[in-house]
Every structure is written in C-alpha cells, then in structure tokens.
Structure 1
Amino acid sequence: MSFEPRIEVQPDADALATAVAGELLSRLADLQASGGTPQIGLTGGTIAEAVHRELARLSPDADVDWGRVVVWFGDERFVPAGSPDRNAGQARAAFLDAVGATQVHEVPAADQVATAAEAAEAYGNAMREHGAGSFDVLMLGIGPDGHVASLFPGRPELDADDSVAVAVADSPKPPPERVSLTFAALNRADVVWFLASGEGKAEAVGRALAPEGSIAETPARGVNGSVETTWWLDRDSASAV
C-alpha cells in the first residue's frame, strides 16, 4: 500500500531538531506502554547530530526506557572503531551512552574485520538474529545528490536487493568505504522519517518529492514506510517543494 508522504516544516534547524526528538520520544513511550520493544534506525549528518543532542536533553523528562530500545544504523563508514567519522561513535557521544541505551547494534569497524564486505555480512546476520523484521521508526538523511544511507545515484548498490546490507567501495563522498542497508532492508519500516536542513538540501528534497523522477537519479525516492513516511524539513530545505 502506498501513502502520500507527510511534510513537516519547522522555522529553522533548531526547531526541527526539537520537534523530531520530542515526537520520537512520544512514539517510543507509546510503543513501550503497549508492551513493545521499539526498534529504531539512526542516521548521521548535521541535523541528526542536533536531534541526538535534543534527545539527550529531553530524555530525562520522557517516559522512555532506553534499555528497552533496540538501535540500528542505516549506514556506516568503514573506518576504525575510534574514528570520529563513525555514525555510531557520534550517536553514542551525543546521546546513546547518556540515556542508557544498551541494545545498540553497530556495523563492525575496519579494525574489527578485514573488509567492508565482511562487515556488511556480519551486520546483516545481526539484523536477522536481533531485528524484529521491521523498524518501528527509521530515520534517514538525504544528500545534496539525493543519496540515502550510503546508496548513491547510479551505483550498483541500488540493485543489491538480495541482502540486508551491502559494502560500498569508491564512495563519491568520503570516506570511500562504507556499509549500507539495502533498499530491501530500509523498506522494512513501519515509519520512515527523512531529516533535512539547509538550502544545500533543497534541490534534492524537491526531486525526492516530485511527482515524477527515478530512483537511480534520486535514491531517496526508493524508501517509504509501510504506515507513514514523513519529511521533517526546515524552511530552507523545504524551499523547492
């Protein structure tokens, strides 16, 4: 079933981060109140960092047990575990450690396995073992080129639907080696939230939401939640919608 995406526009990046963090905490509290153990997917990037800081700030007053939230990442840079480029490291520093998240599933790092392909296989196996079959909420960014996770325009990884995660070599955006969930995995989500802030994202957001266009050109067009897809934008990133 296909749903029209919702578009939520906030005045600026700060307001956007606060709105997303507040809504996520509300959803997690509701899921836990009904007996669920929420499974969420995090993303990297500047606006995600702002959301994570707001989660750290707002969580003490929220009725969320972060020890009962299962955390995944839509993609990861294949670099050593201590690298500041790691999405997981950034999220831990910004909020996961502070709020007491204990069920955090990271993509193996470059000093833990030999190749990005091994990391992708291990991450896929972990998701098969510990995942619930779908994300309750999956947060994603969009690049100025329209990429989502580490699925870039015109790349062979766009067609890798026979696996959970795929290795990416020679990424057009540094670092060159990455691991990304595939479209098959990203689309196993009840709720997908795209986060975008700033004028630099406006053109890509406009292409992603246009009535016509190709996934090969704008990979973000290829991910939708089964129940809800919401684009969380600020005025600048929404200017071409």
Structure 2
Amino acid sequence: MSKTVVNRFKDAASVAENTASALIKKLHDLLEIKPEIHLMLTGGTVGIASLAALNANSDRSGIDFGRVNLWWGDERYVESSSADRNALQAKNALLKNLQLDATKVHEFPSTDSGLTLEQAATEFAEHVNSVKPHFDIILLGMGPDGHIASLFPGKPEPTAGVWVIAESDSPKPPAQRLSFTYEALNSADEVWFVVSGADKQDAVAVAMGDNPTELPVGRVHGITLTQWFIDSTAGTKVFGC
C-alpha cells in the first residue's frame, strides 16, 4: 500500500544534506537484497545540491555504485558539454568521484548525436525498452509552476504506453527537452520530491491540497512510498512556517 511521508527542514542546505543521508541508507538497504538497482536523478538547484551533499558524506564509501543503474528524469537537448545538461552537473557534483559501471549510466542523448529531437526520443525509448528498468527510487525536483522533469502545466498528456517524450517548446529555456512521462515515473517503487524556496509554496499547496492533479507534481506517486524533503519556505502555505 502506498503512503506519503513529508520531511520538513529549515532551509535548502538541510534538505540536501538529509536527502543525501536518507539516500545512502536506502541504497545500502536495497543493495543488500538486490544484485543491482535503478536510481533516477534530478537536476535543479536542490537536486544537484543533494548530490554534492552525498559526495561530501563519508558514509557513501560503503555503497557499491557499480551495481547502481543511473537515469535522469529529463534532459536538456543540448551539446554534451553544455552546463545546462543535468548529467554533466551530476557528474561534476558527484559521479566523477564514484566507481561506476559505464554500461549502467543511462544518459539521454545530446545534440552531439546529430539526431533530431524526435529521433533522439525514439532512440532513447528503444534503449529504455531494451533495459526494461524497474525504478527503485526516483528523485524529482519541482518548478514554481509545479512542473516535474520536463512535464509542464498545460501540455497534453503523453499517450498511454509511452515512457519517453520529446518536448520541443519548453516554457523554460532551453526549449528542447527529452523527458520520461508520468507513466514511467509512476512505475517507481519510491518517488522522492526535493523542494526548497518560497517561490515553490503555491505549487506545494496544490500538490498537498484537495486537487493535486491540477499540476504535474500532483500526478506522480511512488507505488509504495512518496516522500517529500521540503524546506520551511516552500511549505509556508501548507504548514504555516
């Protein structure tokens, strides 16, 4: 049975540090019972800060990251060397310091591929289908408008059965994105939202209110657990502090 847990912290740094600590423990527990796992990372300020906090946490040395498949919820369709790339930001914050299995690092294509956006989405969807990942944990940030990954308010729902989409007109630049869909995200055992900042308080209020599906953030839940790591400013309208 699915449940929701809200973890509240004083500021963004505390969100990042506590997300990192919880993730280390969860990865350790999973790897004790599974030969390999699938973890989806997120970009965004607090998402990357969480990876940096994990990098700084000495307890990470006990995790065999070579058995961890790494994915991203979405990616900007730009050059692989672009600072806009979530994967590059993750590499600089954490991944370059880990012993990884390169075959288990599943980056979205970049424009270096020479593919059109739609072709890149098709190619990556084929890769996902060949791997058939079962996502153990998905980390998701959230925009002030309530978007998650590159799933934005006002956009049509992806077709049933589709796990990867091309977004050619993101309201937040860069315009071209690749993203997992709601269906893919909802396949995860656990979904962890990492959210901070006063500009997120309206969207948080919707997500935790009576009509959460008004925004993309309210349309995603973990099969067993949905967990929030949220700071005091983002939670003001819900918790009053």
1:60 is displaced (CA, Å) by: 5.4
1:221 alignment partner in structure 2:
218
TM-score by length of 2: 0.93
RMSD: 1.4
1:99 is displaced (CA, Å) by: 1.5
Within 2, Cα distance between the matches of 1:36 and 1:237?
37
Residue 231 (1) aligns with residue 228 (2):
yes
Q: Mark the runs of 5 or more structure 2 residues left unpaired by the alignment.
A: none
Of stretches 97-106 and 70-79 in structure 1, the one that deviates more from structure 2 is: 97-106
Task: Assess if the C-alpha contact under 8 Å between 2:39 and 2:136 holds in 1.
Answer: yes
Q: Output aligned runs, 1:1-241, within 5 Å.
A: 3-59=2-58, 61-102=60-101, 103-132=104-133, 134-156=134-156, 158-213=157-212, 215=213, 217-241=214-238
1:62 is displaced (CA, Å) by: 4.0
Within 1, Cα distance between the matches of 2:159 and 2:152?
12
TM-score by length of 1: 0.93
1:162 is displaced (CA, Å) by: 2.8
The residue identity in structure 2 corresponding to 1:202 is: Q
The residue identity in structure 1 corresponding to 2:236 is: S
Within 1, Cα distance between the matches of 2:168 and 2:146?
18
SS in structure 1 at match of 2:62: coil
Task: Assess if the C-alpha contact under 8 Å between 1:188 and 1:226 holds in 2.
Answer: yes
SS in structure 1 at match of 2:170: coil
CA 61–24 in structure 1, closer or farther in 2 if over 3 Å, else same = closer
Of stretches 107-116 and 138-147 in structure 1, the one that deviates more from structure 2 is: 107-116
The residue identity in structure 2 corresponding to 1:141 is: G
1:113 is displaced (CA, Å) by: 3.5
How many residues matched? 236
1:149 is displaced (CA, Å) by: 0.7
Within 1, Cα distance between the matches of 2:234 and 2:205?
9
Task: Assess if the C-alpha contact under 8 Å between 1:25 and 1:62 holds in 2.
Answer: no
Aligned-residue sequence identity (percent) comes to 39
| Residues 56-86 of structure 1 deviation map (CA, whole Å, 9 limit, x = unaligned) | 1115554211111000000000001110000
The residue identity in structure 2 corresponding to 1:13 is: A
CA 61–114 in structure 1, closer or farther in 2 if over 3 Å, else same = closer
SS in structure 1 at match of 2:136: strand
Of stretches 96-105 and 174-183 in structure 1, the one that deviates more from structure 2 is: 96-105
Task: Assess if the C-alpha contact under 8 Å between 1:59 and 1:99 holds in 2.
Answer: no
The residue identity in structure 1 corresponding to 2:221 is: N
Within 2, Cα distance between the matches of 1:62 and 1:202?
35
SS in structure 1 at match of 2:122: helix
| Residues 5-48 of structure 1 deviation map (CA, whole Å, 9 limit, x = unaligned) | 21110111111111100111111111111233111100110001
Of stretches 71-80 and 204-213 in structure 1, the one that deviates more from structure 2 is: 204-213
The residue identity in structure 1 corresponding to 2:223 is: S
